[in-house]
Structure 1
Amino acid sequence: MSRPDVIVIGAGVIGLSTAIAAQKRGLQVVVLDREGPAAGASAGNAGAFAFTDILPLASPGILKKAPRWLLDPLGPLSVPPAYALQIAPWMFRFWRACQPSRVAHSIAAQTSLMDLSKAELEPFLAATDTLSMLRKEGNLQVYESEAEFRASLPGWDARRNHGIEFQHLKADEMTAIQPGLASRFILGTFTPGWYSIADPKLYTLALAEHFRGCGGVIEMADISALRAIPAGVEVAASDGKLRQAGKVVLAAGAFSHRIAKTLGERIPLETERGYNTTLPADAFDLRTQITFGGHGFVVSKLSTGIRVGGAVELGGLELPANFRRSEAMLQKASTFLTGFKPEGGVQWMGFRPSLPDSLPAIGQARVTPDVIYAFGHGHLGLTQSVGTARLVADLLTGQRPAIDLAPFSPQRF
């Protein structure tokens, strides 16, 4: 291919969804990735299209829980001591984002992106021959006490105000939806509008296959720098090879800020290191995704097995994985689910790119409109992938974005 119209950096679910959306607008697209399709967080996430998950991680509620959680190195939220000083500036921005006025702003912005993503999802899946992978089995959030349940109610009120359907349930009503819950869980909330994908890695690989089938090119390249040039962008790889395109989309997940820095931008992207274990399909008779919010993890049913994972370890890109976190979640799941079998699993750790206010960066670079950022989705990369792709395709083709992009400005910090 001669100089393409667009180079997309990143072959995860955001990058490939964006590449397909741009391709369908008639643009020639090349995707570059350091490891290839579905090699990062897109492979090991929980597989949920969590359109009801509009509440930001940065919130007054998390501030109340954080001190207790941080005391437990294997708990739902941890910062390894070796990384504490490095992450301090990000944590300060996170604390500021927890102010009620900022949380309300984040919820409104998040909801607009969620609504767009949900509206775009099924047409996108149909167009990419992946609609058969979509599941609509809901999510059950469970609580161990009246106090824990009451503490969740403001969040559910916020969801109700945005038109999200849910049902509060007692123990017997939860059992009708999901048998096998331990008696310690006395209350729950079911959200039927919570969708999932059969397997996030297989889905992302299917997108790569569709993109190639429509004439797209995917190449392995470790991108080291971007440079604005007349009528386009020059892309430098670590092997010294230079490429050019009319426009570049930076969707390299947790590594995106390093590349953006070569354009002179300092974007406070941090890494939520997520852990999980994927067990054989007979590990538990799972009817719906279960969220153990007080313990910071979920149990998900995939076509390839039962996945137990979650929690947040703010530990950057370099520290070795601490798979004791995966083991701790398995131990809890064995206690929480009657008949659960924790043996025979495959462990995984991945990097979830997160910005302090829990909103992604979607928009043009400061130095050139020919570079468009699409990263920082945290836990919601799969959920918001199709909506983000629509917005980036709008920017690439000079159309007015489908929603207001001001809250997602990469320069908002």
Structure 2
Amino acid sequence: MQTEIEPGVVVIGAGVVGLSAAIALQARGLAVTVLEREGPAAGASAGNAGAFAFTDILPLASPGILKKAPKWLLDPLGPLSVPPSYALQIAPWMFRFWRACSASRVAHSMTAQTALMDLSKAELEPFLAETGTLSMLRKEGNLQVYESQAELDASLPGWKARAEHGIEFRHMGAAEMATIQPGLAPRFTHGTFTPGWYSIADPKLYTLALADHFRARGGRIERAEVSSLHPIEGGVEIRTTDGRTVRARKVVLAAGAFSHQVARSLGENIPLETERGYNTTLPADAFDLRTQVTFGGHGFVVTRLSTGIRVGGAVELGGLKLPPNFRRSEAMLERARAFLPGLKPEGGVQWMGFRPSLPDSLPAIGRARATPDVVYAFGHGHLGLTQSAGTARLVADLLTDGKTAIDIASFSPQRF
């Protein structure tokens, strides 16, 4: 068996969280190698909606989602679905999700989420400037649209919570909505515009740019699928599926939806599940989109990227092994055609990716129980891009100073 020695840090995962952490550690003077099973931006970092959703402080696990879930689950192509063949396997996770929807737990999760959002927003622009990607940042806001006064009224508790955390927004009627985003179907009578919602020109190109910056600063990215981690004296032994062994002083596990499989080798059973996200990216001239539009009642968004118009979202809790069901992409595109009558649906490219999600909607950020030389950074759900710079700061703090910029007790990997 071949053995290699790495004197510094090995980061497992070359998505936006892993690469951001690798760059932050590099900036602290550490030698860093990234191991990635497929290559940079191969997973959810490539196909997300491109939003830095710093105002999205409400956890997915909430009483509101419980009210909508029964209706949504009846529609196999709706905003939330569980394939019948996966229902039994995901039942324990769903039970934890249900428990996380209690008022006290939602309040706790919101406080923790807000702290991470504030840190991530504060860290973002300096991080973009350092990595030469600041020109990719867009500040075009987000328009959440509603089909009735009743639907707007139902959303008001969530907006009240945002207001209490200092988040700026304004409610409006159809006429004002049309000045922000012309071309909406008349069925949308009310909306809420959030100016502090940022986005990136294209999430895949951004993640690839981070990889280039990391390499230019002396970092290495190697193709390897990690099978297990083993504490050893002075560090960690990393074993790969092709029989290699790498020894590093410190390891960051940021392998997205596959992270829990590696964590099991350290004796931890972390309830990570997969939100399978779907989208269709249309040509750039498909619609005159001026802000990201969220159709919350239908569980999807439409986003303008530098590479096209992306229609995507929804949640399919179907694990890592079932084949993609691209009828979900088609259903969202069909709805988008009805909601944006001028949308040209031709020439789209479909995509499905794995969003790593924990039952309480908070990521796992912290040390492994078996050894302080392994730090976890995964489980961000649909907020990986949003929280990447903040997570990178926390990982770098843990592996250098030992004292983190914010309290990370709520993100403990052992909280379950």
Q: With structure 2 as the length reference, what TM-score do the two structures score?
A: 0.99
Q: CA deviation at 1:391?
A: 0.1
Q: How does 1:133-144 map to 2 (within 5 A)?
A: 133-144=136-147
Which whole-Å CA distance do the structure 2 matches of 1:167 and 1:395 have between them? 38
Q: CA deviation at 1:399?
A: 3.2
1:358 corresponds to 2:361: yes
Partner of 1:216: 219
1:230 corresponds to 2:233: yes
Runs of 4+ in 1 over 4 A off after TM superposition: none
Deviations 1:359-392 (A, max 9, x none): 0000000010000000000000000000000000
Q: How does 1:29-108 map to 2 (within 5 A)?
A: 29-108=32-111
Partner of 2:168: 165
**What letter corresponds to residue 146 of structure 2 in structure 1?**
Y
Partner of 1:206: 209
Which whole-Å CA distance do the structure 2 matches of 1:311 and 1:391 have between them? 29
1:381 corresponds to 2:395: no
Consecutive unaligned residues of structure 1, counting only runs of 5 or more, are: none
Partner of 2:30: 27
Do the aligned partners of 1:94 and 1:356 also contact (CA within 8 Å) in 2?
yes
Consecutive unaligned residues of structure 2, counting only runs of 5 or more, are: none
Partner of 1:278: 281
Q: How many residues align?
A: 413
Do the aligned partners of 2:174 and 2:188 also contact (CA within 8 Å) in 1?
yes
Which whole-Å CA distance do the structure 2 matches of 1:322 and 1:120 have between them? 37
Partner of 1:146: 149
Which whole-Å CA distance do the structure 1 matches of 2:148 and 2:342 have between them? 23
CA RMSD of aligned residues (A): 0.7
**What letter corresponds to residue 388 of structure 1 in structure 2?**
T
Which whole-Å CA distance do the structure 2 matches of 1:60 and 1:150 have between them? 15
**What letter corresponds to residue 387 of structure 1 in structure 2?**
G
**What letter corresponds to residue 86 of structure 1 in structure 2?**
Q
Do the aligned partners of 2:5 and 2:246 also contact (CA within 8 Å) in 1?
no
Partner of 1:256: 259
- Indicate the SS of the match to 2:7: coil
Do the aligned partners of 1:4 and 1:30 also contact (CA within 8 Å) in 2?
no
- Indicate the SS of the match to 1:4: strand
Which whole-Å CA distance do the structure 1 matches of 2:125 and 2:248 have between them? 30
Pairing partner for 1:300 from 299, 303, 324: 303
Do the aligned partners of 2:81 and 2:317 also contact (CA within 8 Å) in 1?
yes
**What letter corresponds to residue 112 of structure 1 in structure 2?**
A
Which whole-Å CA distance do the structure 1 matches of 2:117 and 2:277 have between them? 22
Do the aligned partners of 1:142 and 1:185 also contact (CA within 8 Å) in 2?
yes
Q: CA deviation at 1:2?
A: 5.3
Which whole-Å CA distance do the structure 2 matches of 1:317 and 1:81 have between them? 15
Q: CA deviation at 1:338?
A: 2.3
Which whole-Å CA distance do the structure 2 matches of 1:224 and 1:48 have between them? 32
Which whole-Å CA distance do the structure 2 matches of 1:199 and 1:375 have between them? 21
Q: How does 1:105-144 map to 2 (within 5 A)?
A: 105-144=108-147
Which whole-Å CA distance do the structure 2 matches of 1:47 and 1:392 have between them? 23
